[in-house]
Each structure stands twice: as C-alpha cells, then as structure tokens.
C-alpha cells in the first residue's frame, strides 16, 4: 500500500484543543506498571519510517535492496548479527515477538532466539493465543530441473517438504484455522487440522471474512472459482496469473497475466483496470461495494455503493464503519486543488496541507488527522485533540479500549514520541512505537524504541526496545 494512502492527521482551533487537553488531564490517571528493556539494536544504516517495522510482506528469494548491518543485544545474555530485520510481529498480548533476520539466507528470530534458517520465508504469524508461531520456509533456491521445496512450520512442528504451502489463517473469533499444502501437483486444504475431502489444481485467496466464513480461490478446468464456506460465489473466465484478495474481502482483485493490471470483480460486474486497490469492502446487506483505487494515470477514485468519485491527484484512506438499508457510513480523504479534504455523506470539509486517515477504530468510530500550519490535530467523535508535531501513519497503531471509552495513538512533541490517550500525552518518551494493544479497558501495552544511553558501540542508530504497560484510570 502506498504511503500516500496510509496517511493519518487532523484540524481544529488551538485554544479549543488546549482546553480539551487540560480537561482530559484532570480526568485521566496513567501509571506505569511495567517498563522492561527487552533488547538493544545497533544499526549501521538509519531505520526507515515508522511502518518499516510492522506488517510487511513475505521475503521469498533474494532481497533486492542493498542491506545494511545490525547488532542486537538480548537482555539477559546473547546476541544476534544480521543485515536487515524485517516483518516484526507480536502476539496479541505483546509479550512475544518475532522477526525475519535477513543474511545470506533468512532466519526467524523468536523471542530473541534463532528459530530456523531458510532460503526464503513467508511473513511469520502468531496464533491468536500467542503460543504458536507459523510460517512457510523455502528450503532451496530451485533452478532448472531442481524443484523448490517448502516446509510448513506450525509452532514446534515442522511439516514437509512440499511443492508449495500456505501458512495458517485464523477466523476473527479464533475458532477456525485453515492451511494448505501442495503435493504431487494437487492442493489439499486443512481446517482445524483435518484434511478436507477435495484436492485442487490450484489454490489461492485463502482466509476468513469478518463474519468468520472461509474464503478460497480454486482452479477447475482452467477457470478460477471463489468459494465461501464451500459454496461458489464467483467464477472468473479470464486467463489469470494471480488471484488476490484479503481475508475480509469477498470481492476479488484479479491481476491479469502479461499486463499485470488490477480489476475489481464483483459478481457479474467489473470495474477497472487499476494499478492499486488498497481498500475493498462489501455490504453484508446487498451487492454494493466500496473501494479506493488508483488508475494507470496515477489518479485516485473512490466508489461507495453505486457512486464513483474522482479523479483526485492524491488520496488517503477509505473508511466504512457500517452498512444499513439506507447505505453505508463512510469517509475518505483526497486532495482537491492545493489542499486535502475529508468527504462524508453529510458533506466535506478541509483544505488542509496534509492529512492522514480516515480509518475505523473499535469497529464503529472514524478517526482522522490533519496538518494545519506546523501542527497536527486529531479529530475523534466531534472533538479535536492536539496540537502535535507528528502523529503515526499506521492504522494498526490507533486503538480504542474494549469499552470504547479511550482512544490511544502515537504522537510526537519536542521531547519525542509518546502514546496519547484521550488527548493526554504519555509519561514515557521514545524514538519510535512498534505496537500498541489494549489488554482490557484499563490496561494498555506497547513496544517503544528509546535511546539506550551511553554505550561503547559505534553505530549510526542505537535503540533500546522496551515493553511498557500502563494502568489507565
């Protein structure tokens, strides 16, 4: 997803925002219950933006960009050397972590210990309970008559070798798990550890919808079929090289062979082609869809229901909180003239220098941020929070508590980054935020990169990664 589409920022009057923060400070009590330094990283190359550390794609095969070097000191003993640390992931409660250490080959590092080495790796994923780390490892490079072989790693169990493998996907309620392996030219699909009775020529688009239904793309007699819980939803007759889509997306994004164009296919209708489709959502009540897409001229379009908006020269996120019989509740950000504007069913507002978002938090609320002058402001439930020097771009770092009373997000002031709750800046300052989670409505956990202080090591970047827990009252 392009950085331009993963934005996040907002508008408001300065005096009103200051009054808001003063009132919130009086009503909010935050105390640190844990602050543990987990590891310290020394880098010879500067790290990238905030989203460098999280939620990347797989690393199958050789890595294209020139790597740097890092040295990682694990608290309590031990160390790891490498060229790039990629695909940082955390368990749901943030007590466990894993990443890919790119060297001549790739290795998984789990909780500070080397796990396994492979020629290539898929992005590791924790199970919902945090017990199992799962991924696919490519054993060999493969060339000519030498076929590539893949292992499926499920926690402490390694299966394979296979011709191909798809790592586990979990339903949102955690009750269903599926994975797939290819042997002797046929794919077998497993759910909750049991092999389903059918074998498939090709298999892709594996995952679960938000309503916990299994979505699968399969090939039969040269045609792609999309099944939802075993019932065929869509048949695609075009010759395809790749069939793509996310686990919450029932419409299918198709990339055609040769031209590598994207097309949104929904039932019998198609829209496109597009170069990028970062957002694609469907109504559970009708055949309507909502999407954001960039065409081959680099212009952005948004569609909600049957209405197509655009083109715009630049854009931000599309957010849809709910669908009703009257239509969806939605918002999106786009550039009009020299400024960015927020568009909603009731109208638009803005003209800002920049913005980030909008995106959905807590399944029902829309939050966004915008830049006015040198400052950033956050707009949430009609209230304006700020000013801030900068706010985070990753939607995953904006979290509401389970009781929906508190909004937490990273923001920066002159002293560094902190976690802001209801407009109140946190007691701990750092250089980066890696992950944020509400454990319950009064307990907030996050991983923060901080300056490790004096050290004998010579490195361009030195960061100590801390696990921090707060009580919110």
How confident is the model over 295-342, as pLDDT tens digits? Answer: 888 999 998 877 789 999 999 888 888 777 777 788 999 999 989 999
User: What's the CA gap between 106 and 355, in Å, rounded?
Assistant: 37
Round the average pLDDT of the chain to a whole number and report it.
81
- Quote the pTM value: 0.82
| Conformation bin of residue 353: beta by default, left when phi > 0, alpha when psi is -120 to 50 | alpha
Strand pairing category for 70-74 and 194-200: unpaired
Helices (H), 264-420: none
How confident is the model over 361-370, as pLDDT tens digits? Answer: 887 889 999 9
Q: CA geometry: angle at 386 spanning 385 and 390, to 5°?
A: 120
Residue predicted with more confidence, 246 or 235: 235
Q: Residue 27, SS3?
A: helix
Contact by Cβ (8 Å): 26, 413:
no
pLDDT band with cut points at 50, 70 and 90 for residue 275: confident
Residue 14 burial (CB count, 10 A): 14
User: What's the CA gap between 112 and 74, in Å, rounded?
Assistant: 6
Structure-token pair, residue 434? 């890696």
Q: CA geometry: angle at 393 spanning 43 and 376, to 5°?
A: 115
How confident is the model over 277-305, as pLDDT tens digits? Answer: 888 777 766 667 788 889 888 999 998 87
Q: Residue 82, SS3?
A: strand
Question: How confident is the model at residue 18, as a pLDDT?
Answer: 34
Beta-carbon-side half-sphere exposure of residue 164 (alpha carbons within 13 Å): 14
User: What's the CA gap between 169 and 357, in Å, rounded?
Assistant: 27
Distances in Å between the alpha carbon of 411 and those of 155, 234, 369, 414, 422?
Answer: 35, 43, 11, 11, 12
Residue 59 pLDDT > 90: no
Question: How confident is the model at residue 153, as a pLDDT?
Answer: 95
How confident is the model over 181-209, as pLDDT tens digits? Answer: 999 999 999 999 999 888 888 887 688 87
Residue 20 pLDDT > 50: no
pLDDT band with cut points at 50, 70 and 90 for residue 233: confident
Q: List phi, psi (to 5°) of 209.
A: -80, 175
User: What's the CA gap between 383 and 345, in Å, rounded?
Assistant: 19
Residue 415 burial (CB count, 10 A): 10
How confident is the model over 96-137, as pLDDT tens digits? Answer: 999 999 887 899 999 999 888 999 899 899 999 999 999 999
Question: How confident is the model at residue 46, as a pLDDT?
Answer: 53
Most confident of 10-24, 290-304, 371-385: 371-385
List residues bridging with 179 in a β-sheet.
190
Following DSSP, what letter does each residue of 326-341 receive, concatenated?
TEEEEEEEEEETTEEE
* Percent with pLDDT over 90 in the chain: 44
């Amino acid at each position: 997803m392009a950085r331009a589409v993963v934005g996040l920022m907002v508008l408001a009057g300065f005096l009103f925002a200051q009054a808001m923060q003063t009132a919130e400070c009086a009503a909010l009590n935050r105390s640190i219950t844990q602050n543990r330094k987990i590891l310290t990283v020394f880098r010879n190359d500067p790290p990238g933006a905030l989203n460098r550390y999280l939620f990347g794609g797989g690393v199958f095969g050789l890595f294209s960009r020139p790597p740097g070097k890092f040295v990682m000191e694990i608290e309590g003993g031990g160390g790891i050397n490498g060229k790039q640390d990629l695909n940082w992931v955390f368990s749901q409660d943030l007590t466990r972590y894993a990443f890919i250490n790119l060297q001549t080959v790739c290795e998984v590092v789990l909780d500070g210990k080397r796990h396994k080495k492979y020629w290539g790796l898929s992005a590791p994923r924790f199970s919902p309970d945090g017990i199992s780390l799962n991924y696919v490892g490519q054993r060999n490079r493969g060339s000519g008559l030498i076929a590539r072989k893949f292992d499926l790693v499920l926690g402490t169990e390694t299966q394979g070798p296979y011709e191909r493998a798809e790592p586990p996907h979990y339903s949102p309620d955690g009750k269903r798990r599926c994975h797939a392996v290819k042997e002797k030219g046929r794919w077998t699909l497993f759910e909750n550890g049991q092999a389903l009775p059918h074998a498939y020529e090709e298999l892709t688009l594996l995952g679960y919808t938000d309503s916990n239904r299994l979505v699968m793309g399969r090939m039969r007699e040269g045609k792609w079929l999309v099944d939802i819980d075993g019932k065929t939803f869509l048949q695609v007759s075009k010759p395809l090289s790749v069939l793509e889509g996310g686990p919450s997306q029932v419409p299918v994004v198709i990339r055609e062979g040769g031209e590598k164009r994207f097309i949104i296919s929904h039932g019998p209708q198609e829209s496109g082609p597009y170069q990028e489709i970062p957002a694609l959502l469907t109504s559970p009540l009708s055949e309507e869809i909502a999407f954001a897409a960039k065409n081959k001229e680099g212009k952005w379009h948004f569609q909600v229901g049957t209405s197509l908006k655009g083109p715009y020269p630049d854009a931000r996120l599309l957010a849809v909180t709910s669908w009703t019989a009257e239509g969806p509740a939605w918002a999106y950000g786009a550039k009009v003239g020299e400024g960015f504007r927020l568009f909603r069913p009731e109208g638009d507002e803005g003209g800002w220098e920049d913005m980030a978002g909008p995106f959905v938090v807590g399944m029902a609320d829309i939050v966004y941020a915008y830049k006015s002058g040198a400052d950033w402001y956050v707009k949430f439930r009609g209230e304006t929070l700020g000013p801030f020097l900068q706010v985070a771009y990753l939607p995953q770092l904006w979290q509401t508590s389970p009781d929906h009373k508190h909004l937490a997000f990273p923001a920066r002031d002159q002293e560094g980054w902190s976690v802001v709750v209801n407009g109140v800046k946190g007691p701990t300052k750092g250089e980066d935020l890696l992950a944020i989670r509400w454990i319950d409505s009064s307990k907030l956990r996050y991983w923060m990169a901080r300056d490790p202080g004096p050290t004998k090591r010579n490195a361009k970047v030195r960061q100590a990664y801390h696990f921090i827990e707060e009580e919110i009252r």
